[in-house]
Amino acid sequence: MTQLEAAKQGIITEEMHQVAEDEHIDAEKIREGVEAGHIVIPANKNHRSLHAYGIGEGLRTKMNVNLGVSKDCHDYSVEQEKARLAWRMKAEAIMDLSCYGKTAGFRHWLIENSPAAIGTVPMYDVDGALGKALKDMTADDLFQVVEQHAKDGVDFMTIHAGINREVAGHVMRNKRITNLVSRGGSILFAWMMIKGKENPFYEQYDRLLDICRTYDVTISLGDACRSGCGHDSTDAIQIAELITLGELVVRARKAGVQVMVEGPGHMPLNDIRMNVEVAKKLCHGAPLYVLGPIVTDVAPGYDHITAAIGGTLSAACGADFLCYVTPAEHLRLPDIQDVHEGIVASKIACHAADIVKKVPGAAQWDEEMSWARRRVDFKRMIPLAIDPEKAKAYRESSQPQEEQTCTMCGPKCPMKTLDSILNNRNTDEDPYLK
């Protein structure tokens, strides 16, 4: 029985109890959200090390960390180091986007060790797993890889089922600057063009649902047609695919399979609210997983910032799950420092949005930091920081003469000044106020 099937039968699963405890929400509310399809709990039956997290309406905004090897960078020890960093920084999900060679060993290691949910894009693994060129791949080949990932214990899979032949026609007729920037989507588009056939994941969607139901894999309906630059945002191609995804959401829920929907990539800031609202409307309130959005195309090296800006607004408007972006986006495979910076930027975006959404405990965290600042209590401030190690390093790198100040204000610290004045302390004790 899947999480969705259990919820429909009025059963509160162990995973639902875990989510309720983490979120400080009644477990029955979690069950109701799962039943409605507005919350998903990616939890493959074969992922034994998992700490279950909920994604969706009324919950904390969650974050995904991408990692994995490529043809040019395929040192799995580096990717393991990135995964350990993600776990230490409490990322709720990790996607293995490895697209070169035999990936199974690393995937098995992740699933065996990860408390975070593990996601994959099976299309990335088809050539490495089967040793076939794209023109030689059959529909059965594609489903074979999907089923293997499910058996291995993958909690959620990005499946680009929405780019069918009808949507592909929109791609041909509506010219873009960047065409399709989704790696998985572009591979399926090419397969359809080479073969002259329908997308197998759309044509045999019930077959996909059977696999996912067997292992309780959450489908993340991929946005093959997301915009790859601001110019292409919110066009006919993107909307046509989104309509199809909404239809697939309904079919997945009827089959007892949890489903979320992936959102747009690049777009101007003023397009974000509309896109979130349209996606939620057309996809029947399914949890929305956004890739960015990246709000300007001219900041390579700083795209963790452009994505955090877009991610904050999209989550504040109702998106539920942010995919982190690193400073290396568009330039190279990220290194460990890039991953660290991407995680911090995304965590800031998630938390800033949670304050807007009035998620339980979000504002309280900020208030605790505010009281520590009022008391000029650095020993309390640093552990409360999103990145305590960096906060500590900055504090220790420039020490003031007086411990309860910093080298920005020194004795002119406004917190100390107002504390003395408002509490009627003897100003003669403070050299600055004499």
User: Which residue, 321, 338, 356, sits at the end of a domain?
Assistant: 356
If one compares 424 and 390, the residue with the highest pLDDT of the two is 390
% of the chain beyond a pLDDT of 90? 90
Same domain, 85 and 198: yes
Confidence band for 72, pLDDT divided at 50, 70 and 90 = very high
Confidence band for 420, pLDDT divided at 50, 70 and 90 = confident
Partner residues linked to 118 by β-bridges: 94
Model pLDDT, residue 429: 57
**pLDDT > 70? residue 220:** yes
Confidence band for 428, pLDDT divided at 50, 70 and 90 = low
Model pLDDT, residue 225: 97
Model pLDDT, residue 317: 98
- For residue 284, give the nearest of 252, 322, 238, 240 by alpha carbon: 252
**pLDDT > 80? residue 430:** no
Model pLDDT, residue 127: 86
- Which residues carry a binding-site annotation for substrate? 66, 95, 124, 160, 182-184, 223-226, 262, 289
Rounded Cα–Cα distance for residues 415 and 47 (Å): 50
User: Which residue, 308, 341, 356, sits at the end of a domain?
Assistant: 356
Rounded Cα–Cα distance for residues 190 and 32 (Å): 41
Same domain, 319 and 394: no
State the pTM of this model: 0.95
Region 76-80: mean pLDDT is: 97
Region 135-147: mean pLDDT is: 96
Number of domain units in the chain: 2
Determine contact, residues 289/304, Cβ cutoff 8 Å.
no
Residues 6+ apart with CB under 8 A from 380: 368, 372
- DSSP-derived secondary structure letter, 398: S
**pLDDT tens column, 118-132:** 999 999 998 888 888
Model pLDDT, residue 426: 59
Rounded Cα–Cα distance for residues 261 and 256 (Å): 16
Model pLDDT, residue 52: 98
Q: Let me know how many helices (H) and strands (E) the chain has, helices first.
A: 19, 10
Confidence band for 425, pLDDT divided at 50, 70 and 90 = low
- For residue 244, give the nearest of 270, 229, 262 by alpha carbon: 262
Instruction: Tell the residue number behind the tokens 């990692």, with chain if given.
Output: 67
Same domain, 171 and 191: yes
Same domain, 339 and 381: no
Same domain, 323 and 276: yes
Cβ atoms < 10 Å from Cβ of 251: 15
Model pLDDT, residue 110: 98
CATH number where 57 lies: 3.20.20.540
**pLDDT > 60? residue 431:** no
Same domain, 140 and 285: yes
- Which residues carry a binding-site annotation? 66, 95, 124, 160, 182-184, 223-226, 262, 266, 289, 330, 406, 409, 413
**Token digits for 158?**
């990005």
Region 25-30: mean pLDDT is: 98
Determine contact, residues 276/353, Cβ cutoff 8 Å.
no
Question: To the nearest whole number, what is the mean pLDDT of the chain?
Answer: 95
Cβ atoms < 10 Å from Cβ of 428: 8
Region 381-394: mean pLDDT is: 96
In DSSP notation, 181-235 reads --HHHHHHHHHHHHHT---HHHHTHHHHHHHHHHHTPEEEE--TT--SSGGGTT-
Same domain, 153 and 31: yes
Model pLDDT, residue 343: 98
- Which residues carry a binding-site annotation for Zn(2+)? 266, 330
Confidence band for 149, pLDDT divided at 50, 70 and 90 = very high
- Which residues carry a binding-site annotation for [4Fe-4S] cluster? 406, 409, 413
If one compares 431 and 34, the residue with the highest pLDDT of the two is 34
**Token digits for 57?**
């309406």
Judged on CB neighbours under 10 Å (0-12, 13-18, 19+), 387 is: middle
Determine contact, residues 106/79, Cβ cutoff 8 Å.
yes
Same domain, 380 and 325: no
Same domain, 94 and 33: yes
Region 263-268: mean pLDDT is: 93
Rounded Cα–Cα distance for residues 326 and 337 (Å): 9
Indicate the pairing of strand 156-159 with strand 117-120: parallel
Indicate the pairing of strand 39-40 with strand 55-56: antiparallel
Determine contact, residues 120/154, Cβ cutoff 8 Å.
yes
**pLDDT tens column, 37-62:** 999 999 999 999 999 999 999 999 99
Residues 6+ apart with CB under 8 A from 210: 255
Same domain, 233 and 373: no
Model pLDDT, residue 432: 53
Model pLDDT, residue 427: 56
Model pLDDT, residue 80: 98
Q: Which amino acid appears at position 64 of this protein?
A: N
Same domain, 366 and 287: no
Residues 6+ apart with CB under 8 A from 86: 65, 67, 94, 116, 339, 343
Same domain, 321 and 395: no
Rounded Cα–Cα distance for residues 321 and 177 (Å): 27
Owning domain of residue 395: 362-433
User: Which residue, 356, 373, 397, sits at the end of a domain?
Assistant: 356
Rounded Cα–Cα distance for residues 201 and 388 (Å): 44
**pLDDT tens column, 407-419:** 999 888 999 889 8
